[in-house]
A and B are shown apart, each in its own frame.
Chain A
Amino acid sequence: MFDYFNPYRIFKINSTLQKIIFLCFILTLSIGLVEALFLSPEDYLQKDSVRIMYVHVPAAWISLGIFSTIALLSFSVFVFKNKNFILISKSLAPSGILFTLIALVTGSIWGKPTWGTWWAWDARITSMLILFLFYTLYLLSFRIFEDQDRSNKISSIIAIFGAINIPIIKFSVDWWNTLHQPASISLTEKSAIHSSMLIPLLIMTAAFALFSVLIFLMKYNTELIKIKNKGLKRL
Chain B
Amino acid sequence: MISDLILMNGYGIYVWSAFAFTLIGFFSLYFIISLQLKKEQKRFEKNFTTLSEEKYTVAINQEINKEILKHSGSKV
Query: A101 an interface residue at 8 Å Cβ cutoff?
Result: yes
**In whole angstroms, what is the CA distance A47 to B47 when docked?**
58
Query: A98 an interface residue at 8 Å Cβ cutoff?
Result: yes
Q: Are A109 and B17 in contact (CB under 8 A)?
A: yes
Interface size class of B (residues with CB under 8 A): 35 or more
Stretch of A78-86, A192-200, A213-221 at the chain-chain interface:
A213-221
Chain A interface residue count, CB cutoff 8 Å, equals: 44
**In whole angstroms, what is the CA distance A226 to B47 when docked?**
11
Q: Are A225 and B58 in contact (CB under 8 A)?
A: no
Query: A222 an interface residue at 8 Å Cβ cutoff?
Result: yes
* Neighbouring A residues of B68 by C-beta, 8 Å: 11, 224-225, 228
Q: Are A38 and B5 in contact (CB under 8 A)?
A: yes
* Neighbouring B residues of A112 by C-beta, 8 Å: 14
Is chain B's binding surface mostly helix, strand, loop or mixed? Answer: helix
Q: Are A226 and B33 in contact (CB under 8 A)?
A: no
Q: Are B33 and A218 in contact (CB under 8 A)?
A: yes
**In whole angstroms, what is the CA distance A218 to B48 when docked?**
21
Is chain A's binding surface mostly helix, strand, loop or mixed? Answer: helix
Question: Closest chain B residue to A33 by CB distance?
Answer: B19
A112 → chain B, closest Cβ, in Å? 6
Question: Closest chain B residue to A103 by CB distance?
Answer: B22
* Neighbouring A residues of B22 by C-beta, 8 Å: 55, 59, 102, 106
* Neighbouring A residues of B18 by C-beta, 8 Å: 52, 55-56, 105-106, 109-110
Q: Which of B11, B21, B33, B71 contacts A47 (CB 8 A)?
A: B11
**In whole angstroms, what is the CA distance A2 to B35 when docked?**
30
* 0/1 string, A172-190, CB within 8 A of B gives 1: 0000000000000000000
Which residues B50-76 have CB closer than 8 A to chain A? 51, 55, 58-59, 63-65, 67-68, 71
Question: Closest chain B residue to A233 by CB distance?
Answer: B47
Query: A232 an interface residue at 8 Å Cβ cutoff?
Result: yes
A131 → chain B, closest Cβ, in Å? 16
Query: A8 an interface residue at 8 Å Cβ cutoff?
Result: yes
Q: Which of B5, B26, B34 contacts A218 (CB 8 A)?
A: B34
- Whether A232 touches B44, Cβ cut-off 8 Å, given contacts A48-B8, A48-B9, A219-B33, is yes
Q: Residues on B close to A: CB < 8 A?
A: 5, 8-9, 11-12, 14-15, 17-19, 21-22, 25-26, 29-30, 33-34, 36-37, 40-41, 43-44, 47-48, 51, 55, 58-59, 63-65, 67-68, 71
The 10 closest A-B pairs by CB, nearest first: A48-B8, A48-B11, A225-B40, A106-B18, A8-B64, A49-B11, A52-B18, A55-B22, A232-B47, A222-B37
Task: List 21 A-B residue pairs with CB atoms under 8 Å apart, sorted by A's residue number.
Answer: A7-B64, A8-B63, A48-B8, A49-B11, A51-B8, A59-B22, A105-B21, A106-B22, A109-B17, A109-B21, A211-B26, A214-B30, A215-B33, A218-B33, A218-B34, A225-B41, A225-B68, A232-B51, A235-B51, A235-B55, A235-B59
